Amino acid sequence: MTEKTLEKNARKTLVILLFLGWALGNLDRYLINYAVVYIGDDLSLTGTQTGLILSSFFLGYALMQLPGGLLADKFGARRVLLVSVIVWSIFTGLTAVALTLGVMLIVRFLFGIGEGGFQPSASKIISTSFPQNERSRVMSIMLSSSGIMAMLVPIISAALLVTIGWRAIFFIAGLLGVIIAFLYWKYVPKDKVQQSDEERPQIKGILGKLLRMPFMWSLVIGYFTIYAVNWGLNTWIPTYLSDARGLDILSIGWVQIIPGVITIVAMLGAGYIIDKIDLTVNKIIGALCALLLGGFLFLMFNAESITLFITYQCIVMFLATYVMLLLPSFILKRIPPEYAGTAMGMANTGGQLAGFVTPTLIGLMVDAFNGSYNAAVWMLMVISIVCVGSILTISLKDQYSEKGI
């Protein structure tokens, strides 16, 4: 069964709400990358412990991806979306009162659990509420908030971390979440009530089918590799620019504006292109982007000046952004809407496990090599090459169609 899409005005409102919700989630995720410099000083943390704080969110987030998708498919995406925003708002606020490393790790982990249901349920809403030829663009608009936050958070951090402090910022972010939750409760369309067992998705059966599909495992690996690069860079570039390039927090904030703008443009442009071009051609473009990504990572970290570093970083973000939007497009366009939440949750588990593993692994490498980032850079380059293979192995011929699933 395929649900009818919403009316045009309702779809516009829904796009705005999804954008705002994802923007808030990314506000916290990017903010911690800058705040951790001050958190590390307050709690006397090592590089490895700093990496653990950055990774603890992703562990909870990754563990909740598949359950979040299953719950969205079984009980309705709106319900999961609301619970997700409420829970993450509570633990964003509680970040402000964490006084020890242990408490901080628990709070960040539970914040990840809360936010973990958002993307699978949002993806299901996109799949059921929008025509197929609009879905990549809608996803790109929602995900573009990540680029906007990447641009704004450095400025916000530079202005507020040195004035009101990191604890006050997280408390304010928690209050913003309460507002978003209210807007979702009031304006997100209610889940369709399924009257019979025949209408109700057979979750156990579809999960088994998804787990047996090579298509899905290629996506899981693709998600893991591209998000390993993405979150490896996002979580450690502020610290890298401070330690290895000698920039202060204000300078870091300003130089990161340009990559943020590029990410926004790339996300919106990629959504338009992916909706216009056949997925077979898009697959080749995505593999080429992943291949070039490895080379420009090498150039970026070996740049002789900050100007060159930022130039190469812009290219890296453009290439990575295309791949990050292409991967969910395979699900939005090839998996029936009834099961989009479960499929997205499965694929995104790979991406968020990468978010958990990579920051800690980079922290360990930096400590092991006496502050050098060289080993971490080579690791990210190798991961980019693995991403190429995962994209090329995505089969577009033998998928379960809406008739066959």
What pLDDT is stored for residue 204 in this prediction?
58
How far are the Cα atoms of 55, 60, 177, 326, 337 from residue 35, in angstroms, in the given order? 14, 20, 19, 31, 39
Task: State the pLDDT confidence band at 398, using cuts at 50, 70 and 90.
Answer: very low
* Cα gap 308→300, rounded to integer Å: 7
pLDDT tens track for 179-236:
999 999 988 888 765 544 455 555 556 777 888 888 999 999 999 999 999 988 887 8
**How many Å apart are CA 32 and CA 96, to the nearest integer?**
11
Q: Give residue-wise pLDDT tens across range 50-73.
A: 778 877 887 888 888 888 888 888
pLDDT of residue 381: 95
Cα separation, 189 vs 186, whole angstroms: 8
Distance CA 368, CA 360 (A): 12
Residue 343 confidence (pLDDT) above 80: yes
Contact (Cβ atoms closer than 8 angstroms) between residue 76 and residue 13: no
Annotated domain spans of the chain: 8-187+195-392
Report d(CA 98, CA 186) in Å as an integer.
Answer: 32
Categorize the per-residue pLDDT at 140 as very low, low, confident or very high, splitting at 50, 70 and 90. Answer: confident
Thinking of the domain 8-187+195-392, which architecture would CATH place it in? Up-down Bundle (1.20)
Tell me the per-residue pLDDT of 101-132, one tens digit each, with 9 for 90 and over.
888 899 889 988 988 888 888 888 888 888 87
Taking the CB of residue 127, how many other CB atoms lie within 10 A of it?
Answer: 28
* Across 209-213, 281-285, 386-390, least confident range: 209-213
Q: Is the pLDDT of residue 3 over 50?
A: no
**pLDDT value, residue 250:** 73
Looking at residue 5, its pLDDT comes to 58
Percent of the chain with pLDDT over 90: 26
Q: Whose CA is closest to 300, among 310, 292, 290?
A: 310
Cβ atoms within 10 A of the Cβ of 92, count?
A: 29
Per-residue pLDDT for 142 more than 80?
yes
Q: pLDDT: is 250 or 307 the higher one?
A: 307
Q: What helix, strand, coil percent values describe the chain, rounded to 5?
A: 80, 0, 20
Residue with token string 């395929």: 2
371: left (phi over 0), alpha (psi -120 to 50) or beta: left
**Cα–Cα distances in Å, from 203 out to 2, 70, 226, 335, 345?**
16, 7, 28, 14, 13
Give whole-number Cα distances, 57 to 107, 153, 252, 359, in Å. 8, 18, 23, 11
Q: Can you give the pLDDT at residue 198?
A: 52
